[in-house]
Amino acid sequence: MAFSVSFVCTGNICRSPMAESVFRARVDEAGLDGLVRVDSAGTDGWHEGDGADPRTVSVLTAAGYESDHVARRFEASWFSRLDLVIALDSGHLRALRRLAPTAADADKVRLLRSYDPAAAASVDLDVPDPYYGDDEGFETCLRMVEAASEGLLDAVREASERRAA
């Protein structure tokens, strides 16, 4: 059974689809594409059915990532099929843990930047929402996502190996 990771931000049009695209690329590069399933969602349904924000698509394309995305809202029932739920900021972390049906499900929720060794000691592990800013905010978001993706990949690889053993 594949190890399942879902990235969650507010509307599922900026940060979480960016994290999904970057992490999927890391999973593919590591040869784990059949062993790890990656998706994303939003805590709110404002943009359900929409594509990713054009600035997200632009930043991803310029960096060589694929972006084929349709926004959706995270549902509590998904916890049963997910191994990790990766929140992009502390507000999402709190909302997702409240939504979790069980304590074990709440334990599946982690902040993305907690996987970035350079950021792990920081007081602020949020990936700031670039939506209301300029293109630089999307570039900053991408750098933060990329920095955390390697640590997350290591954690997922380790968890997958423990499960297989």
* CA-to-CA dists, residue 104 to 52, 65, 101, angstroms: 31, 33, 8
For the chain, list residues with pLDDT below 70. none
Q: Examine the residue annotation and report whether 129 is marked as an active-site residue of this protein.
A: yes
Query: What's the pLDDT at 161?
Result: 83
Query: What's the pLDDT at 164?
Result: 75
Dist. CA 146–CA 31, nearest whole Å: 18
Q: Examine the residue annotation and report whether 14 is marked as an active-site residue of this protein.
A: no
Query: What's the pLDDT at 163?
Result: 83
- Model pTM? 0.96
Query: What's the pLDDT at 71?
Result: 97
Annotated catalytic residue: which of 33, 44, 50, 129?
129
Q: Using one digit for the tens of pLDDT, what is the confidence trace for 81-113?
A: 999 999 999 999 999 999 999 999 999 999 999
Cβ atoms 9, 39 nearer than 8 A: no
| Calculated CA dihedral for residues 145, 151, 155, 161, nearest 10 degrees | 110
Query: What's the pLDDT at 121?
Result: 75
User: Would you list the domain boundaries of the chain?
Assistant: 3-164
Annotated catalytic residue: which of 9, 55, 110, 116?
9
Query: What's the pLDDT at 102?
Result: 98
3-164 carries CATH number 3.40.50.1820: no
Query: What's the pLDDT at 122?
Result: 78
Annotated catalytic residue: which of 14, 15, 113, 141?
15
| CB-count exposure of residue 100 (10 Å: 0-12, 13-18, 19+) | middle
Query: What's the pLDDT at 132?
Result: 94
| CB-count exposure of residue 75 (10 Å: 0-12, 13-18, 19+) | exposed
